Each structure stands twice: as structure tokens, then as C-alpha cells.
Structure 1
Amino acid sequence: MTNLSPFAFEAPMAASHVNLDALIPREDFESTAGSAGGRLRETISLSDLEETGFFQRSLRKPDFQRETTHWTPAAVCDLVWAYLEGHLIPAVILWQSGDKVFVIDGAHRISALIAWIRDDYGDGTASNARFGSGLTDEQKRVAKRTRDQVRKKIGSYAEFKGLIDQEISDPQKAKWVSRIGTGSVEIQWVTATNSKAAEDSFFKINQAAQPIDPTERRILQTRRSPNSIAARCIARGGKGHKYWSSFDRETQEEIESIGEELNSILYDPPHSGPVTTTDVPIAGQGYSALPFVYELVSVCNKIPLPTSSSAKKLPEPLPEDKDGQETLAFLKSVKSRLRLISTNYSGSLGLHPLVYCYSSTGNFQPNAFLATVSFAELVKERRKKEEFTKYRERFEKYLLRNRTFVSLTMSRLGASGRSQPRIIDLYWSILSEMLDGAADDEILPRLTIRKEFAHLKQLEVPPPGAEFEGGKKSASSASKSSAFIRNAMETPLKCGICGAAVHCNSITFDHIVRVRDGGGNRGEDMQPTHPFCNSGIKS
């Protein structure tokens, strides 16, 4: 028997991965009792994982464990197939505390089997109960894709249950029915006698299998700090496991309300590639986005980020939030920053995400987004909103023509906390050059004489569409996105006051001639504008 490699480690999170997080409930490690005693079982069978099975009722995930969202549809399908074929599946590692059994390693393996048994690949009964309105269209699409793959390659669990005591002519199905009854996954038990030792075992086991990046490691290890709680609440729109459940009811409800609002600001309207509309969400697809949201919370609350993806030394963690007030303060700070770049709030600049947050090929760029959040705050703090608005159309056209500036900066410094201050400085320097009277063709030479922008000397701007090669049989998603973005942003919906692109999430309507000056309310009397242009410039 061979070791099936997809199950030896977990792949990085991505938009095409299956959300199995609701299938094993989470519980606070520290709230559990001591060992229940008795002999520990050696294996888990499929019947143990059925909803009526006694063992599945005791299964829990530690509240600090990563979300079970790291496997592709193919990996889930292959795990079920490997089980039925009798291939070696690595043992799962469990820890028993009282009448609960915690999954220390192997949550994806167990969850994939539960998903097959319950036909819940992120859109079934358990997932709907857990996520409710937080169950995204993307999550549903991936779930359907997974279900279709499993049924095509294997069939449903219910189908095999129906074959019990039946004469089966298909030898493959007969073999699998037998395997369902006799197969199992081996268990290894953590022998720790307390929750702290068991938690240490978790991090040692998972770090050895595949190192956890600094941001995700910080979230897991500081799960009760206000920034971690706020990030989890935003990422799930106030749904899912309630890491804020120890706070009083009023505080919980406020946290959930703000979390739902912020998730909507970030990820509505829903998006999937290729880009065929300018109505894209300001923060990409939002699927499995917890590390990104954690960085957003940190940026908005001036908490230092790791300077590289391999950083071993992290800033000192924040202390535990005892009553939820710090979590609320963190959420409100994020809300203030996001309202400045999006929404119809009267002071919102309404920055268009295709200008600031996406590459020319339609990929969301987290570091560019985070830098934009800080750049907008800098414009506000330095009282330059009116001057920015005056030059905004020209400034944004310059950014669109020179997208390579940002990609070169991230290439130079890495897609980590190091590149964000440089992107902020780049945006501010370009704006400052314009305010100082520099022509567009003078800006790059002025930038490259500065040490921090010397890397831009290597700039060789390719012709539109030359950043990638299209597929041999058909145009790639990137090619299609690039063509759409290039054409759409040449003639976007424009603000009638500043002339820059208007985004669907930040659009207000202004009377071309004020009503008090004789203007009317007919369509021809109105024009779309940015909120700040409407309230702060024309008012």
C-alpha cells in the first residue's frame, strides 16, 4: 500500500478549496475535564462518523486549530476513494479530555469522510447551521463541484447504504460496500495530562508537518486577543464559532453586527474570475481570508506585522480581551478606515478597487489593498482630501498606466509587511510630485533618484496583454480579465465632480445645478459622484 501524498500535509488556503469547518464542532480546550479513563480505541470506522454514531458526538476541534478549509475538491474525493480502496491513510492524532475527543492532527481527513457520509461539502445541514447567511456563493460553488466529482468517481454514501443486503453485480461496488463495513482509520493518542501540554503537542506536530506562516501562527496562539477575535468575526461575517462567547450578550451582539457589516463592505458584491464587471468587491473573493483580515485589523490598529513570511520572531502578542471592549474598539477602528475608502459614508473617497487593489490580470493584491487603506488615512490625517480630489483623476490614470510600480515593489521587498510602507510612500510621492507641478513624464525620473525607489530603474513596461501568455486552446482567465479591465477602465463610470472612476459601493447622486439654484430632480439633472466629492467638495 502506498502513502497518498495529499493527506500527509495540508495545502495553502485558496478560493477553490472546500470548507469543511462545520463538520467537527470547536470547543475551548481549557473548559474540559480530566481524562475519562478506560481503554482508548485504536481505530475510527465510517459508522463511528455517522450522525447517529456515538463516537462522532464526542469529536471536537480545539478552538485554536486552523479552519478546515485547506483541501481542494480533488483531495476530498481522493481521500474517500483511497479509504474505499484500502490505501494507507496516515493515522489521526487525538487527545481525550473528559467525555470529549479533540482532533490534534487529521481534521481534514476525518472531515472529508464525514462530508461524504453526510453529503455536506460546505453547503449541507451542518454548514448551513454554522454559517447561515455567511455561507457564500463561492463556498456553495466549490461544494457543488466537490459533490459532482465524488459522485462521478465514487457515488454517494447513501447509495452504498442502499446496497446493504442487496445482490451487487458490479464487483467494484461490492468491494467498496465491504470496505465500508470493515475499513477504518488508525488513531494515535496524545498522552498529555493537561490542556497546555496537549496544545503544545498540537503546535509541534503541525509545525513539523508543514510550517505555519507567521500570521496564521499568531492567530492560533493568541486566539483570545482582541485583534484575533476581531479578525475571525470579520472573516466570517459574525457567524461560525463564537470566539467572543465569553462576553456579555449585548457585547456579543454588537461584535457580530459590526463583523457582519465589515464583511459586507469587504466582499460584496460577490466575485469570481475572470473579471467581467467593474463591480468587484474591494477585497477579492473573501474565501478562506482569515490571515488577510488579521493583517487588516493590525494595520487599522497600528499593530506591527511580520516583516517576512519566514519571520520567526514575532511582536509581543496582545493580552487576552476579558470583556470584549477592546475587540469592539478594534472593530470600530477597522470600520472607520474602510468607510474612508468605500461605502456611501459622506466622507468616503470611494477608491475604485480596480485602480488600487487588483493587478492588470484581475488578481486581488492584499498588500496593495492594505497600503491603500493606510494611504487614504494619511491623506485624511494630513488634511489633503481636497487637494487629492483635485488631482485624483490624473493620479489614478497614472497608477493605471504604471501598475508595474507596485508589482516591482512587492517583488523587491516581498509580499509581506515590508512592502506596504514602501507602496504607501510610492503613492504619496507620486501625489506630491503632481502637487509640486511635475508633468507625468517627469515623475518616474524624480522617483528613481531616490534610494527607496531605485528598483524602478529596471522598469520595462510591456505592451498591454504581454504580462502573460494565453492558453493554447483558449484565452486564459487572466487574459480575459486583462482585456476587460483595460477597456473598462479607459472609459469608466466617472464622478461628475472630480472625473475619477466611481465604484458601485461608493456612489452618490448630485444635482448638477443645486435645487436652491433652480436645479431639478430629473435624470438629466443628476450625476454620479463620490461621497466626499458630493458632500465635502461641492457642499
Structure 2
Amino acid sequence: MAKHMVNLDALIPREDFEAASPEALTQPSGLMANLGVAELGPESFMYNVLRKPDFQRETANWTPDKVAALVRSFLEGDLIPAIILWRSPKSGNIFAIDGAHRLSALIAWVHDDYGDKHRSLRFFDGVIPSEQQKAAETTRKLIQDSVGSFSELKTALQNPDTTSSEKLRLARNLSAFALQLQWVNGEAEKAESSFFRINQQATPIDPTELDMIKARHKPNALAARAFIRAGTGHKYWSSFDDPIQMEIESLAKDVYDLIFRPTLDMSIRSTDLPVAGRGYSADSLKMVFELVNFVNRLRPEMWQPEKNGRKRTTANQSDMSTLADDLDGTATLEFMRATKKAASKIAGNSPASLGLHPAVYFYSATGRFQPAAFLAAVAFTQELVEKRRLVKYTELRAKFEDFLVSYKHFLNQIVQSYGSLQRSVPPILEMYKILLDSLAEGLDDEATIERMRANSNPRLPVKAITEDDRRHGRNFSSETKNAIVLKATLESSPVCQICNARLHLRSMTFDHKIRKEDGGGGAMDNGQMTHPYCNSGYKESRPSSEATR
């Protein structure tokens, strides 16, 4: 069964708890105790006042099987936990405090929108990733095979002579069954505290997601939210002026295209790999947030709420500055521009781009994308710029990358030892620095590996492996298949005609072998494929006679 998650995020709009209605509201004398599924239709009063908190995590964590099972369970009368709601005394809208996924699954069934139709298309500005489309199609088929569509059951009782007995049974259940409701009483502060308390129990919110929820008005969280969905979906930045909103969405799309295109399926089937793996997953959200924080030199102490009322300090700062909420979008734009500049340094066709090949730098020996390696590459390129070592790196780049390919399992060993994301970034960066220094000194592979094992700080738990270390069954695992495609990608990659390192075809330029200013023309035999930086910064750093060799 498909492993893609069903994206139901469009089906219940988000809203700020504190949003107010221009009309005067009356306090209800009583609140409903049950909710029939018919009340979730697009024209019902209830559906049109239903909301999620604006900080609600994306409703995209259920598999097609789980969505189909929930719909089936409801129609069979199985016990479904009560939905916990809160009615805002300011807007009159009703917020899902707990049960948004359950509600969204039933809404999806009623609307026949599993992340690919009507509301979803409008919500995501018509941009539906292929994995989201596949999950929707799988879910629709599962539900059709299991219970049928909502529209079928809705008309079943009107046409009993042409409807199967099973469909009639389910239709009668649909007419009688309802969801149980519980209500939170009080103001917005009580509703928010209830949300966090409830959602940290059965299925705790991921720590990164929780950090982003609590920092939802800060520029780093706003930037990460925009990047991860290419500026589509819920507009967390909707309170900003229109020109700022437009630039946020433009920058978000640019960075998304740089690092997440083309779309990566669960298994590698193409040699055209995205720089940063899958466009939306738990790891990708963490990685993008870490990327924004790293590029903009933010430490958790700057944006996380202080604990126990104590002011945080560091060895270098007696008073750590606090990252303020972004009230007008200018700080968010500043962070996004810096992130785009960093991403453009490793991918894309801008003149400063090194055009790092994803298969060399970002994917492990088993063909799996490693977020830590992506972040380490960003850190490494920034260090090359700051220490003015780009030219030296380019001179040694082919040997540098040959080593990484030959010992690609080192990346697996580091991540297994330190864990994913930020914990593995320092040792991967340390490996890159030792490798570059060793190549500059003319050391061979054996001496380089010994230096990594002996002198690294942090420690590098790397060791060469032999064929005897590998264990394979009779059938190809998905990791083995990915590794086969990755190996073919590395072997078939063209090389830059200036530095002789591998080229990623989405990050290359065409160069005149003989410069135009030296009389070179536009004929095919005077052209060559190169990395953008090799064709600009590195080529321009060499004498004219050397650059044309």
C-alpha cells in the first residue's frame, strides 16, 4: 500500500483564536452534543463556521489506509473518540481543539476531496505535488472499494431497488450515526492551553513542530512555513501588506524549486534527483527550519520562550538578544533572502552556484536523502566563502568528490552514530574540512582516513568496509534499488569541463572554451558544460591562457 500521507489540510480553514467578528455576538444557551456527517457538507451552517487554530500543525499525517479505516469505522458504528471543540466568543466560529484529523477524514469523504479536488486546489493555488495526488487517488479507491462514496450512500435510500443491500445498510447507518462532541469553555487563552495539553498526550506534537507553533509570529518560523509549501497553502503571512506577501510567496517558490524539484517519490526512479529530497515530510520540515536558523545565525535561545523565567546567556554574550515577532514582514523577507542566497550557492544556475551534485553530497550509500548532509554542505560552502577557499576547493573538487563517492558509507556511519539533522552536521562538516586539507597536502586516501579517525573534533566514527561487511538477501530491498539507481547516476553523470567534477544537469551553464573577448564564437565546438561558479568566479580568477586550456 502507498506510503504517502493524505494531505487534508485544506478542508478546515485556520484562524486566529483572537479574531473578532464585526457583528455583536450572543452567548449560546446550549451547544450541540452530537454532529451528523451531513453537517460537514459544503453548504451546512456548521461546516462554514468550523476552524482550526492558526498554529495547528498540518493535517497531513494519516495514510490512505487510516483515512479509509476511519470512514469505515464511523459507518459501522465503532467507537470514535469525541471531538473537542471551542466556540470563540469574539468571532462565533467553532475551533477543533482535538480531532481535526478525524473531522478532516470525514469531510474529505463528504466532499470527495482527499487533497486533490475543489478546496484543495484553491488552497494550494493549483499546485498539487505528485505524491499528494497519488495518496488522494489511493484513498479514494480504498474508500470506494470499502464503503462507497458519500454521494452514493446519500442517494441509496431514494433508489432502494437499484442499490445493493450492503449500501442500503450503510446508508441507514449514515442517517442515524453521529460524532460525539465535547466543548471547552472559556476565553482564547483557555482554548490554547487546552489544545497544547490535549495534543501532547496520545500523539505528542513533534518537538520541531511545537517550536514552530510557539514561534509562529517570528520571522524564522514564517520563512520556514513559506518555503516548505512553495508559498501555497495557509498564508501564515496574510496580515502583511500585499507587496510583502507577494515577495514572500515569490521567494518561497524560488527556493522550493531550487531544492525540492523535481519531486522525489518514495523510491529513486530517476537520475534527476532533487537537491533536498522529498518536498514535504517530517524531516524536510525540520531541515528547512534548521536551514533558515543556520543561515541567519540564529540560536534556539534567541527565539524559544525562556524557561522558568531565567534569562539565557552564552559564553560569548552576556545577554543573548531575543528574536522579536515580525509585525510587518520585513524581518521574514530578510531571512528568506539570506536563505535563498545560501541555497543558490549550492544549487541552481546563478553565477555563484557551485552546482553540487545531489548524488555526491546529499544522498547516502543506500540512496536515502540525508538532511544533515544537506545542511553540512550549506555550512561548508559558507565557510569556503568566508575563508576565501573557493578557488582551492575548485582546484581539488574532482578529487574531493571522488573520495566522497568512494567512501559514501562514511555518511551512513556518521548519521548512525550521531543521529539525524543538526547532531550530525558538525561531524560531516569536520569530514569535509579534513578532506580538503588532506588533498591540499597531497595525502592519499589511507592517510586521509587515518587523519579523520585520529584528529577529528568532533570524533569521526568512519571506517572502510569490505564486501564481507555487506549482507544481502535473495531479493532487492528498496534501499538496494535506490543504491543501484544512485550508482548509475554517479557513473553516468557528465563532468564539468573546467574542474572535471560531476555536473548536475539542473545546475550547469554553457561556457565558451575561447572567450568571446578573445575572439571565441558561438559554434558548437567552442562550447562546453560547466558548473556556474567554474564558468564565472573560478574561470575569471585564472589567467586568460590557463582558462582556455
Counterpart Cα distance in 2 of 1:462 and 1:373: 31
Counterpart Cα distance in 1 of 2:401 and 2:210: 36
Counterpart Cα distance in 1 of 2:393 and 2:143: 54
Partner of 2:154: 161
SS at match of 2:182: strand
Partner of 1:78: 69
Q: How does 1:61-460 map to 2 (within 5 A)?
A: 61-98=52-89, 99-167=92-160, 170-191=164-185, 193-288=186-281, 289-304=284-299, 318-450=323-455, 452=457, 454-456=459-461, 459-460=463-464
Is residue 35–residue 97 contact of structure 1 (8 Å, CA) maintained in 2? no
Deviations 1:131-182 (A, max 9, x none): 0243212211211111121112221111112212222563321210011111
Counterpart Cα distance in 1 of 2:212 and 2:515: 51
Is residue 80–residue 116 contact of structure 1 (8 Å, CA) maintained in 2? yes
Counterpart Cα distance in 1 of 2:175 and 2:94: 23
Is residue 274–residue 481 contact of structure 1 (8 Å, CA) maintained in 2? yes
Rate the CA distance shift 1:467–1:208 in 2: closer, same or farther, 3 A: farther
Cα shift at 1:363: 1.4
Counterpart Cα distance in 2 of 1:199 and 1:444: 53
Counterpart Cα distance in 1 of 2:229 and 2:471: 34
Counterpart Cα distance in 1 of 2:467 and 2:71: 47
Cα shift at 1:216: 0.9
Q: How does 1:498-513 map to 2 (within 5 A)?
A: 498-513=499-514
Amino acid paired to 2:47: Q
Counterpart Cα distance in 2 of 1:154 and 1:467: 46
Is residue 510–residue 534 contact of structure 1 (8 Å, CA) maintained in 2? yes
Amino acid paired to 2:253: E
Counterpart Cα distance in 1 of 2:444 and 2:458: 18
Is residue 431–residue 460 contact of structure 2 (8 Å, CA) maintained in 1? no
Q: Does 1:28 align with 2:33?
A: no
Cα shift at 1:516: 4.1
Counterpart Cα distance in 1 of 2:427 and 2:386: 18
Cα shift at 1:347: 0.9
Deviations 1:250-281 (A, max 9, x none): 11111111111111112112221432333111
Cα shift at 1:490: 2.5
Q: Using structure 2 for the length normalisation, give the TM-score.
A: 0.89
Partner of 1:538: 539
Cα shift at 1:126: 0.3
Counterpart Cα distance in 1 of 2:278 and 2:120: 19
Partner of 2:317: none
Identical aligned residues as a percent: 40
Partner of 1:5: none
Amino acid paired to 1:190: V
Rate the CA distance shift 1:454–1:256 in 2: closer, same or farther, 3 A: closer
Rate the CA distance shift 1:414–1:273 in 2: closer, same or farther, 3 A: closer
Counterpart Cα distance in 2 of 1:87 and 1:345: 57
Partner of 1:11: none
Counterpart Cα distance in 1 of 2:292 and 2:489: 32
Q: How does 1:3-18 map to 2 (within 5 A)?
A: 16-18=4-6
SS at match of 1:188: strand
Is residue 427–residue 459 contact of structure 2 (8 Å, CA) maintained in 1? no
Counterpart Cα distance in 2 of 1:92 and 1:467: 50
Deviations 1:465-508 (A, max 9, x none): x75645x6x53332222112113213411101001111122110
Rate the CA distance shift 1:171–1:460 in 2: closer, same or farther, 3 A: farther
Deviations 1:272-296 (A, max 9, x none): 1432333111111212443332121
Counterpart Cα distance in 2 of 1:157 and 1:452: 60
Rate the CA distance shift 1:331–1:427 in 2: closer, same or farther, 3 A: same
Q: Does 1:57 align with 2:48?
A: yes
Counterpart Cα distance in 1 of 2:384 and 2:126: 35
Is residue 260–residue 279 contact of structure 2 (8 Å, CA) maintained in 1? yes
Q: How does 1:30-49 map to 2 (within 5 A)?
A: 30-32=18-20, 36-49=27-40
Cα shift at 1:35: 7.3
Rate the CA distance shift 1:261–1:225 in 2: closer, same or farther, 3 A: same
Counterpart Cα distance in 2 of 1:462 and 1:171: 63
Relative to structure 2, which stretch is displaced further, 355-364 or 32-41? 32-41
Is residue 365–residue 409 contact of structure 2 (8 Å, CA) maintained in 1? no
SS at match of 2:237: coil
Cα shift at 1:305: 5.5
Amino acid paired to 1:271: L
Amino acid paired to 2:102: R
Relative to structure 2, which stretch is displaced further, 51-60 or 14-23? 14-23
CA-based RMSD of the aligned residues comes to: 2.2
Gaps of 5+ in 1: 1-13, 307-311
SS at match of 2:95: strand
Counterpart Cα distance in 2 of 1:151 and 1:342: 43
Counterpart Cα distance in 2 of 1:432 and 1:82: 62
Amino acid paired to 2:14: R
Deviations 1:383-409 (A, max 9, x none): 111110010011011011112222222
Rate the CA distance shift 1:381–1:301 in 2: closer, same or farther, 3 A: same
SS at match of 2:85: strand
Is residue 278–residue 503 contact of structure 1 (8 Å, CA) maintained in 2? no
Q: Using structure 1 for the length normalisation, give the TM-score.
A: 0.91
Deviations 1:308-352 (A, max 9, x none): xxxx99989732101111000000110110010011110111111
Cα shift at 1:462: 4.5
Amino acid paired to 2:164: D
Rate the CA distance shift 1:35–1:447 in 2: closer, same or farther, 3 A: farther
Is residue 52–residue 96 contact of structure 2 (8 Å, CA) maintained in 1? yes
Relative to structure 2, which stretch is displaced further, 246-255 or 315-324? 315-324
Q: Does 1:525 align with 2:526?
A: yes
